[in-house]
Every structure is written in structure tokens, then in C-alpha cells.
Amino acid sequence: MAQEDKKRAAAEAALAYVEPGSIVGVGSGSTVNCFIDALAGIKHKIEGAVAGSNASAERLKAHGIAVLDLNNAGDLPVCIDGADEATSNKHLIKGGGAALTREKIIAAASRKFVCIVDDSKIVNTLGKFPLPVEVIPMARSYVARKLTALGGNPAWRQGVITDNGNVILDVHNLKIVDAAALETEINQIVGVVTNGLFARRPADVVLIASDQGVKSLP
């Protein structure tokens, strides 16, 4: 099965987690785009969505799905999002699309976080995918030095400004032994908005699409 078909299969499986009459948290990325397209088929059954990026908001609106402000939505029953890497204990790296901060806020405000991936995203240990860190622009060099002191090799993602007006450092070669501890440590660096480790609030469900179909991590 082509990767595009796997993304679509995982996205369609996630529809089963959408609660009728609810507001759905929606992340960002190509797999989430498949989910938004699938959600359009049941849009009459939901109140609307909170979007993890401006791009997702535009796609939701193009389908006629109401996009709501999280400040008016309260806690969400469920959010659906993709990932760049996922482990068997449902820890993730996210932020390949630079939307990590809004995605992390939505995950924090959701009672259930359903992550949708194709099988290429499953890893034993996080960190082959460079860890995205969203940084306030004036702190870029300072934060880069601190990330280097942690053993990583940060690279400024050229030409990218996040939806929040910040920059992204992609940190290569990090040894991620304790993902939750590293998530906290990086977030303590002044000037960091957040980093792409989702371990303190991992996914609750990971739906993995492969040639054998879609299965949920135990």
C-alpha cells in the first residue's frame, strides 16, 4: 500500500473516536489533512473543530466545518493528530510541520489524544527525526548554545516562521533516554516556547496503518 493510502486508512479509522455533537481537536500535517477530508463526511454530526495550525483551519473551513477558539471550547473530548515518530509507549516527536506548540496545547486540553500514523513512523527510540524546538526569535542563538550543551546539534530551520511568529531549531543527534525528563529540561531553557517531545502528555491511542490494515497500539 502506498504511504498516502496508509495515511488515509489511519485517518478514516480515527473517525470512530469522534463523539457526536462535540468539538474535535485537529492537529496538523498531511495525515491530519486526510483526517479533515474524512471528517467532512460527518460534519453534520459535530459542532466544529479547534485547529492546530492556520493551514488546518483553512482546510476545515474549506469543507464548511466551523473552526472554534479553544478559549471558548473548554476541554475537548478528543483530539486527532499525526506524528513524526512514535514509540510503543506512545511517546512522540512532533513538529515536522512547525505546528508543535498549538498541537501540544490542544493535546493538553483533550481528554483523549488519538495519534494517526503510517508504519514508517514507529521507532524503538525517539531521536532519529531531529527534535523541533520552537524558540522566540531573539533567543535563537542563546537557546542553540544550550541545546548544544545538552549534546544536540541544533539547526535553524531556514525560511520558517511558525503561526505564533517564532523560529524552529531542529536538534540532531540527541540521545533521548528519558523522553519526559528531556522534554521538561528543554522547556526550562529561557526563550523556548515548547519542544516536539510529547512524553509528559503522550498519546492515549496510536493508530498505525500498514499493509496489513490499521491496528491500535496496545
Residues tagged active-site: 103
User: Minimal CA–CA distance to 24: which of 61, 84, 67?
Assistant: 67
Q: Quickly count helices (H) and strands (E) in the chain.
A: 7, 13
Please name the residues in contact with 177: beta carbons below 8 A apart, sequence gap of 6 or more. none
Calculate the CA 72 to chain-centre distance: 21
Cβ proximity to ligand 5RP: between 148 and 161 the closer is 161
* Binding residue for ligand 5RP, selected from 39, 80, 100, 171, defined by CB under 6 A: 100
Size of the site for ligand 5RP (CB under 6 A): 17
Considering only 54-62, 69-77, 99-107, 141-149, which stretch makes contact with ligand 5RP by CB under 6 A? 99-107
User: Least CB distance from residue 141 to ligand 5RP, whole Å?
Assistant: 23
For ligand 5RP, give the closer residue by CB, 82 or 152: 82
Q: Is 83 in the site for ligand 5RP (CB under 6 A)?
A: yes
- Count how many residues are written for the chain: 218
From the list 43-51, 62-70, 91-99, 158-166, the region that binds ligand 5RP by CB under 6 A is 91-99
110 binds ligand 5RP (CB under 6 A): no
Strand order from edge to edge, sheet including 110-118: 48-51, 23-26, 76-81, 110-118, 205-210, 213-216
Binding pattern to ligand 5RP, positions 21-50, x when CB under 6 A? ------xxxxx-------------------
* Contact criterion met (CB below 8 Å) for 43 and 62: no
- 84 touches ligand 5RP by CB under 6 A: yes
Which of 120/148 has CB closer to ligand 5RP? 120
- Using CB atoms within 10 Å of the CB of residue 150, give its burial: 0 to 12 exposed, 13 to 18 middle, 19+ buried: middle
Q: How many CB atoms lie within 10 A of CB 165?
A: 9
Residues within the interface to ligand 5RP (CB under 6 A) = 27-31, 81-84, 94-100, 103
